[in-house]
Chain A
Amino acid sequence: MIAPLPPVATARSYRPPGSLVIRIEGVTKLYRMGAETVHALRGVNVEIRRNEYLAIMGPSGSGKSTLMNMLGCLDTPTGGRYDFNGKNVAHMVDDELAEIRNREIGFVFQTFNLLPRSDALHNVELPLVYAGVGPAERRERALEALKNVGLGDRVHHKPNELSGGQRQRVAIARALVNRPSILLADEPTGNLDSRTGEEIMALFEQLYDQGNTIIVVTHEEDIARHARRIVRLRDGLIERDERPGA
Chain B
Amino acid sequence: MTRGIYELTESFRIAFGQIRANAMRSVLTALGVIIGIVAVTLMGTAINGIDIGFNRSLALLGDDVLYVQRWPWRRVPDWWNYVNRPAIQVEQAERLNRIFEATPGSLLEVAVPVGARGTNVKAGDVKLGGVMLFGTNSDYSRIVTAEVAAGRLFTEFEANAGRSVCVLGSGVAENLFPGRPALGQTVDIRGQHFSVVGVLAKQGEFLGLFSFDNQIIVPLNAMRKLWGNRMDLQLRVKVTDKTKLTQAEEELTGAMRRVRGQLPAERDNFSINQQQAFKEQLDPVKTGIAVAGLFITGLSLFVGAIGIMNITFVSVKERTKEIGTRKALGARRRTILLQFLIEAVSICLIGGAVGLAITYVTCLGISGALPELPVEFSGSLMIVSMAVSILTGVISGFAPALGASRLDPVEALRYE
Tell me the A residues contacting B by CB distance below 8 Å: 69, 72, 74-75, 94-95, 98-99, 101-103, 107, 109, 113, 115, 117-118, 126-127, 129-135, 174, 178
- The CA of A135 and the CA of B2, in the complex, are separated in Å by 11
Could you write out 25 A-B pairs with CB less than 8 Å apart? A72-B328, A74-B328, A94-B332, A94-B333, A95-B333, A98-B327, A98-B330, A98-B332, A109-B328, A109-B413, A113-B321, A113-B322, A113-B328, A115-B325, A117-B17, A118-B17, A126-B10, A130-B7, A130-B326, A130-B329, A130-B331, A130-B335, A131-B330, A132-B3, A134-B2
Q: Give, as a whole number of angstroms, the nearest-CB distance from B38 to chain A.
A: 31
Which one, B7, B321, B324, B332, contacts A99 given CB within 8 A?
A: B332
User: With a CB–CB cut-off of 8 A, which chain A residues contact B413?
Assistant: 74, 109, 113
- The CA of A102 and the CA of B322, in the complex, are separated in Å by 16
Contact yes or no, A107 B328, CB < 8 A: yes
- The CA of A131 and the CA of B330, in the complex, are separated in Å by 8
Closest A residue to B406 using CB positions? A94
- The CA of A127 and the CA of B327, in the complex, are separated in Å by 10
Which one, A75, A103, A115, contacts B330 given CB within 8 A?
A: A103
User: With a CB–CB cut-off of 8 A, which chain B residues contact A126?
Assistant: 10, 326, 329
Instruction: Known pairs A113-B322, A130-B335; list 4 more (Cβ under 8 Å).
Output: A74-B410, A98-B333, A109-B328, A127-B329
Most buried by A among B17, B325, B413: B325
User: With a CB–CB cut-off of 8 A, which chain A residues contact B3?
Assistant: 130-132
B308-334 interface bits toward A, Cβ cutoff 8 Å, 1 = contact, 0 = none:
000000000000011011111111111
> Could you tell me the dominant secondary structure of chain B's interface residues?
helix
Contact yes or no, B410 A127, CB < 8 A: no
Contact yes or no, A132 B6, CB < 8 A: yes
- The CA of A135 and the CA of B413, in the complex, are separated in Å by 27
- The CA of A99 and the CA of B333, in the complex, are separated in Å by 11
User: With a CB–CB cut-off of 8 A, which chain A residues contact B334?
Assistant: 95
User: With a CB–CB cut-off of 8 A, which chain A residues contact B327?
Assistant: 74, 98, 101
Which one, A95, A117, A129, contacts B6 given CB within 8 A?
A: A129
User: With a CB–CB cut-off of 8 A, which chain A residues contact B328?
Assistant: 72, 74, 101, 107, 109, 113
Q: Give, as a whole number of angstroms, the nearest-CB distance from B250 to chain A.
A: 69
Contact yes or no, A115 B335, CB < 8 A: no
Tell me the B residues contacting A by CB distance below 8 Å: 2-3, 6-7, 10, 17, 21, 321-322, 324-335, 409-410, 413
- The CA of A130 and the CA of B10, in the complex, are separated in Å by 9
Contact yes or no, B331 A98, CB < 8 A: yes
- The CA of A98 and the CA of B324, in the complex, are separated in Å by 11
User: With a CB–CB cut-off of 8 A, which chain B residues contact A174?
Assistant: 329
User: With a CB–CB cut-off of 8 A, which chain A residues contact B6?
Assistant: 129, 132-135
- The CA of A102 and the CA of B7, in the complex, are separated in Å by 14
In the complex with contacts A117-B17, A129-B7, A134-B2, A107-B410 CB distance below 8 A: no
Q: Which 6 A-B pairs have the closest CB atoms?
A: A102-B330, A132-B3, A130-B330, A113-B325, A98-B332, A95-B332
Q: Give, as a whole number of angstroms, the nearest-CB distance from A203 to chain B.
A: 20
Closest A residue to B20 using CB positions? A117
- The CA of A94 and the CA of B333, in the complex, are separated in Å by 8
Q: Give, as a whole number of angstroms, the nearest-CB distance from B5 to chain A.
A: 9
Q: Give, as a whole number of angstroms, the nearest-CB distance from A129 to chain B.
A: 5
Contact yes or no, B410 A117, CB < 8 A: no
Which one, B17, B21, B324, B329, contacts A102 given CB within 8 A?
A: B329
Contact yes or no, B410 A75, CB < 8 A: yes
Closest A residue to B17 using CB positions? A117
Contact yes or no, B329 A117, CB < 8 A: no
Q: Give, as a whole number of angstroms, the nearest-CB distance from A74 to chain B.
A: 5
- The CA of A127 and the CA of B328, in the complex, are separated in Å by 9
- The CA of A178 and the CA of B329, in the complex, are separated in Å by 10
Q: Give, as a whole number of angstroms, the nearest-CB distance from A134 to chain B.
A: 7
In the complex with contacts A115-B322, A132-B6, A134-B6, A69-B410 CB distance below 8 A: yes
- The CA of A99 and the CA of B332, in the complex, are separated in Å by 8
Closest A residue to B10 using CB positions? A129
Q: Give, as a whole number of angstroms, the nearest-CB distance from B338 to chain A.
A: 12
Closest A residue to B324 using CB positions? A113
User: With a CB–CB cut-off of 8 A, which chain B residues contact A98?
Assistant: 327, 330-333
- The CA of A117 and the CA of B318, in the complex, are separated in Å by 14
- The CA of A72 and the CA of B410, in the complex, are separated in Å by 10
User: With a CB–CB cut-off of 8 A, which chain A residues contact B2?
Assistant: 132, 134
User: With a CB–CB cut-off of 8 A, which chain B residues contact A118?
Assistant: 17
- The CA of A72 and the CA of B331, in the complex, are separated in Å by 14
User: With a CB–CB cut-off of 8 A, which chain B residues contact A127?
Assistant: 329-330
User: With a CB–CB cut-off of 8 A, which chain B residues contact A178?
Assistant: 330
User: With a CB–CB cut-off of 8 A, which chain A residues contact B10?
Assistant: 126, 129
Q: Give, as a whole number of angstroms, the nearest-CB distance from B123 to chain A.
A: 78
Contact yes or no, B329 A101, CB < 8 A: yes
User: With a CB–CB cut-off of 8 A, which chain B residues contact A101?
Assistant: 327-330
- The CA of A115 and the CA of B10, in the complex, are separated in Å by 13
User: With a CB–CB cut-off of 8 A, which chain A residues contact B409?
Assistant: 74-75
User: With a CB–CB cut-off of 8 A, which chain A residues contact B21?
Assistant: 117
- The CA of A107 and the CA of B333, in the complex, are separated in Å by 19
- The CA of A112 and the CA of B34, in the complex, are separated in Å by 39
- The CA of A135 and the CA of B329, in the complex, are separated in Å by 17
Contact yes or no, A130 B332, CB < 8 A: yes
Q: Give, as a whole number of angstroms, the nearest-CB distance from B410 to chain A.
A: 5
- The CA of A134 and the CA of B330, in the complex, are separated in Å by 16
- The CA of A72 and the CA of B324, in the complex, are separated in Å by 13
Q: Give, as a whole number of angstroms, the nearest-CB distance from A185 to chain B.
A: 12
Q: Give, as a whole number of angstroms, the nearest-CB distance from B139 to chain A.
A: 76
User: With a CB–CB cut-off of 8 A, which chain B residues contact A75?
Assistant: 409-410
- The CA of A134 and the CA of B7, in the complex, are separated in Å by 11
Closest B residue to A113 using CB positions? B325
- The CA of A131 and the CA of B326, in the complex, are separated in Å by 12
Q: Give, as a whole number of angstroms, the nearest-CB distance from A116 to chain B.
A: 8
Closest A residue to B21 using CB positions? A117
